Amino acid sequence: MQVQTHKEECIMKLQAALDTLTLEECLALLDHTKGAVDIAEVGTPFIIECGMEPVRAIKAAHPEIEVLADAKIMDAGEFEADKCFEAGADIVTVLGVSYDETIEGVVRSAKTHGGQVMVDMIGVMDLAARARELDKMGVDYICVHTAFDIQGTGQKDPLEDLKVVNAVIENARAAVAGGVKLATVDAIAAEKPGVIVVGGAICNADDPAVMATAMKERMK
Amino acid sequence: MQVQTHKEECIMKLQAALDTLTLEECLALLDHTKGAVDIAEVGTPFIIECGMEPVRAIKAAHPEIEVLADAKIMDAGEFEADKCFEAGADIVTVLGVSYDETIEGVVRSAKTHGGQVMVDMIGVMDLAARARELDKMGVDYICVHTAFDIQGTGQKDPLEDLKVVNAVIENARAAVAGGVKLATVDAIAAEKPGVIVVGGAICNADDPAVMATAMKERMK
């Protein structure tokens, strides 16, 4: 039984960030990648454009896939998370830079709806200290995230950030997002985060389904 | 001419934060408050639920009112702001805790579309230092914002925050949000922010139109 528990803890999920595709393209991608994509992320730009419609549509078409609403909540935690979970999201994101009261509201909403909470650590200055606090607040995932706008500037190293978070968390699992690609996924997977988020590398691939499957293979 | 310029600078706009009403209720409120509401804010929860649909609908019904999309952008600044401006928003919000690169992207998008940028200072630790930086980056409004989730905890005083920002800005104008009501609007208006944001006090009033008009009267 202990071995099984250990294996369970080591499962890594592939989260596909669907930021730049149309809803039809997203649904087609998920059709073609069955078994590879564990979590379908409805990205922030998608929510800004379409609200919860893609969450409802993806959940209806693929009830076996977890749907994450990347709402990046910053305030009104419980109220905003309620909207996401009520639309069918399994996981909702809240910003690590938000007030504790906001995080607590999102956690409360998740408990009510049987959902999960991922904290997006984008912009958090003291990663270890904040991860320690969040870990005690009952969140499910703490996601180190190299912002799209600073990718390529060398300001952030997702692998180093992942190690920092993994070193301090006891209850939550780590997640990694921001520019992950086939060339960098092995080193990240070696640190055994709970979730690896891949956006552009899948969405912009010549064959997104082949790329998603290749990524998932590296995570086993 | 100097007197006119001075008067122009002193104009205070009333922004109604439409967070908890249906689209029909929003449109009815704006019908009944003509002349009182300068800026109609499509609130973050409204965007999470409906995307840009309310922005399009309000702008179509009330082209004379400025529409603000409270997207609270944290990353992918230009890409996300583009979506809001293309939907008809006149003003888009970005978080003050985001990276400079993100703010700069939103400013770039605003320039392209002839729109404006409001920075939401929620969660910013060193208000004066960040306001000084943002002021140089070409944003239009710097909004001190007492988070909904910490209203009543005494952690923030919007009036004091407003004074801090007003003391350091040279190009942008200040805005104030978070729990503003009829009892507190006079002291805030005396500091002459460019925008006063009122949410619950209008939306939850017995007669929202009467309340909006009363608020606007105090701002003249």
Q: Is B10 exposed, middle or buried (0-12, 13-18, 19+ CB in 10 A)?
A: exposed
Contact A188, A176 (CB under 8 A): yes
pLDDT by residue, tens only, chain A of 220 residues? 344 444 456 799 999 998 788 999 999 999 988 889 999 999 999 999 999 999 999 999 999 999 999 999 999 999 999 999 999 999 999 999 999 999 999 999 999 999 999 999 999 999 999 999 999 999 999 999 999 999 988 888 899 999 999 999 999 999 999 989 999 999 999 999 999 999 999 989 999 889 999 999 999 8
Q: What pLDDT shows up at residue B74?
A: 98
Query: What is chain A's length?
Result: 220
- Tell me A90's DSSP state: S
Confidence band for B157, pLDDT divided at 50, 70 and 90? confident
Which residue in chain B has the smallest CA separation from A103?
A: B149
Helix (H, G, I), strand (E, B) or coil at B85: helix
Report the alpha-carbon distance of residue B95 to residue B76 in Å, rounded: 12
Kindly state the tokens that stand for B220. Answer: 């003249």
How is A33-87 classified by DSSP, letter by letter? TTTT-SEEEE-HHHHHHHTTHHHHHHHHH-TTSEEEEEEEE-S-HHHHHHHHHHT
Question: Is the pLDDT confidence value at B176 over 70?
Answer: yes
- Tell me B214's DSSP state: H
CB of A130 within 8 Å of a chain B CB? The answer is no
Among A48, A53, A80, the strongest candidate for a mutation testing the B interface, having the largest count of B CBs within 10 A, is A48
- Distance (Å) of CA B145 to CA A76, B110, B172, B176: 13, 22, 16, 6
Backbone phi, psi, residue B2, to 5°? -60, -40
Query: How far is Cα of residue A21 from the mean position of the Cα atoms in its chain?
Result: 17
CB contacts of B72 in chain A (<8 Å) are: 72, 74-75
ipTM of the complex: 0.94
Q: Which residue's entry shows tokens 């989730």?
A: B149
Report the alpha-carbon distance of residue B209 to residue B187 in Å, rounded: 22
Q: In angstroms, what separates the C-alpha of A145 from chain B's closest C-alpha?
A: 10
Question: Is the pLDDT confidence value at B209 over 90?
Answer: no
Q: What pLDDT shows up at residue B76?
A: 96
Mean pLDDT value of segment B96-116: 98
Per-residue b/e over A38-59, b at no fewer than 16 CB within 10 Å?
A: bbbbbbbbbbbbbbbbbbbbbb
**Interchain pair A102, B147: CB under 8 A:** yes
Report the alpha-carbon distance of residue A217 to residue A214 in Å, rounded: 5
Which residue in chain B has the smallest CA separation from A49?
A: B51
**Interchain pair B80, A51: CB under 8 A:** no
Among B21, B122, B149, B150, the strongest candidate for a mutation testing the A interface, having the largest count of A CBs within 10 A, is B149
Q: In angstroms, what separates the C-alpha of B10 from chain A's closest C-alpha?
A: 30
- In 3D space, the residue among A150, A162, A152, A212 whose CA is nearest the CA of residue A182 turns out to be A212
Kindly state the tokens that stand for A74. Answer: 């910053």
Task: Tell which wins on pLDDT, A5 or B135.
Answer: B135
Instruction: Indicate the average pLDDT of chain B.
Output: 93
Q: What pLDDT shows up at residue B108?
A: 98
- In 3D space, the residue among B2, B29, B5, B1 whose CA is nearest the CA of residue B16 turns out to be B29
- Distance (Å) of CA A183 to CA A186, A187, B57, B84: 7, 9, 45, 34
Q: Which domains does chain B have, with CATH numbers?
A: 2-218 (3.20.20.70)
How is A58-72 classified by DSSP, letter by letter? HHHH-TTSEEEEEEE
Contact A122, B75 (CB under 8 A): yes
CB contacts of A75 in chain B (<8 Å) are: 44, 72, 122, 147-149
CB of A41 within 8 Å of a chain B CB? The answer is no
Q: What pLDDT shows up at residue B109?
A: 98
- Triad A111, A69, B25: Cα angle to 5°: 90
| Residues 133-152, chain B, touching A (beta carbon < 8 A) | 147-150
Q: Which residue's entry shows tokens 């690609």?
A: A181
CB contacts of B49 in chain A (<8 Å) are: 51-52, 83, 87
- In 3D space, the residue among B180, B56, B49 whose CA is nearest the CA of residue A53 turns out to be B49
Tell me which amino acid residue A2 is: Q
Report the alpha-carbon distance of residue B58 to residue A174 in Å, rounded: 41
Contact A159, A178 (CB under 8 A): no
Among B49, B51, B75, select the one facing A49 at the smallest CB separation: B51
Report the alpha-carbon distance of residue A156 to residue A152 in Å, rounded: 9
Among A47, A74, A150, select the one facing B123 at the smallest CB separation: A74
**Interchain pair A153, B101: CB under 8 A:** yes
Helix (H, G, I), strand (E, B) or coil at B79: helix
Q: What pLDDT shows up at residue A23?
A: 93
Q: What pLDDT shows up at residue A9?
A: 60
Q: Which residue's entry shows tokens 């998740």?
A: A110
| Residues 67-96, chain B, touching A (beta carbon < 8 A) | 69, 71-72, 74-77, 79-80, 83-84, 87, 95
CB of A189 within 8 Å of a chain B CB? The answer is no
**Interchain pair A48, B80: CB under 8 A:** yes
